[in-house]
Amino acid sequence: MGMKPSEIVIELDNVEKYFGQQKVLDGVSLQVRAGTTTVIVGASGQGKSVILKHMLGLMRPDAGRVVVFGQDLAQSNTNQLRDIRSHFGVLFQNVALFDSMSVYDNVALPLRERTHKNEADIRVNVEEKLALMGLEDHGEKFPAQLSGGMQKRVGLARALVLNPKVVFFDEPTTGLDVSKSNEIYRLFFETQVRLNYTAVIVSHDVPKIFKLSDSVALMAEGKLQGCMSPEAFQLSDNPLIRSFVLETMGPIYSSETEEALLYETL
């Protein structure tokens, strides 16, 4: 994909966050540019989900600023926040589909709740997203009747149904086997090319997620380390990044055969 010099969609400026005595974010700074994919990696409990919640306006920083579409979230009122969020699509770790609703109704929900579209328009939009996800024959089913991978695809369809400008994924492939998570990333990549959204992804799926990313950052010691291209990230001499890269990828990644295989599976 490569870095495009596009406008900044999200900016974290020296964000600090405490929970009691625990300082989880210790000066987190990040710029996310339009149309790019930013991947945040890091060990459990380092604050990756907390960063996403700040971007979504669900948590407020104790210091620093969170700026989305040029607007400081701390200065925004309820209506402005709602307007900003209407451009977001979110897929969290536990998909949280509504068990008592059909697949179709789950995907239609954001349109019914947040737009004034009539049912005919809703149908066109929902069917388009179901088809994108290969779920066109499953609209009448209920979540319990689907495989784990299909449930994730329903979650992805719902996250995209408002044609969001920014999509947030927190561990979108948790609980899926390798081929099912590759499938999710392939669908994700295809829909991003088509819908051209900006993406922020928290993921443990290194290195395959790197193939989709423009910028990779490691959350460690309360700060985002890196924020650089995946190539630069893998060669970084930051000791925290180096040990992460060695731990998660090992020394084999430079092998060309390995790379070719990765390209194939995506």
Ligand X SMILES: Nc1ncnc2c1ncn2[C@@H]1O[C@H](COP(=O)(O)OP(=O)(O)OP(=O)(O)O)[C@@H](O)[C@H]1O
Interface ranges with ligand X (CB under 6 A): 19, 24, 42, 44-50
Q: Which of 49, 125, 182, 234 binds Mg ion (CB under 5 A)?
A: 49
- The least distance separating Mg ion from the CB of residue 129, rounded to whole angstroms, comes to 26
Q: For ligand X, which is the closer residue by CB, 51 or 228? A: 51
- The least distance separating ligand X from the CB of residue 56, rounded to whole angstroms, comes to 13
Residue type for position 241: I
Q: For ligand X, which is the closer residue by CB, 49 or 213? A: 49
Cα separations (Å) of 103 from 71, 134, 191?
35, 12, 19
The answer to the question of residue 236 lying near Mg ion (CB under 5 A) is no
Whole-angstrom Cα distance, residue 84 to residue 67? 11
Tell how far CA 156 is from the center of its chain: 10
Count the residues in the chain: 266
Token duo for residue 81: 């926040």
Stretch 16-45 residues interacting with Mg ion (CB under 5 A)? none
Q: CB under 5 A: which stretch of 6-14, 48-56, 107-115, 244-252 binds Mg ion?
A: 48-56
Given phi > 0 = left and psi -120 to 50 = alpha, else beta, which region is 95? Answer: alpha
Class of residue 32 by CB neighbours under 10 A (exposed 0-12, middle 13-18, buried 19+): buried
- The least distance separating ligand X from the CB of residue 126, rounded to whole angstroms, comes to 30
- The least distance separating ligand X from the CB of residue 168, rounded to whole angstroms, comes to 13
The answer to the question of residue 46 lying near Mg ion (CB under 5 A) is no
Q: For ligand X, which is the closer residue by CB, 45 or 134? A: 45
Nearest residue to Mg ion, by Cβ distance, number only: 49
The answer to the question of residue 234 lying near Mg ion (CB under 5 A) is no
Cα separations (Å) of 106 from 15, 103, 207?
34, 5, 32
- The least distance separating ligand X from the CB of residue 112, rounded to whole angstroms, comes to 30
For 95-106, the DSSP string reads ----TTS-HHHH
- The least distance separating ligand X from the CB of residue 93, rounded to whole angstroms, comes to 7
Q: Which does 18 bind (CB under 5 to 8 A by kind): ligand X, Mg ion, none?
A: none
Whole-angstrom Cα distance, residue 73 to residue 61? 10
Using CB under 5 A, list all residues that contact Mg ion: 49
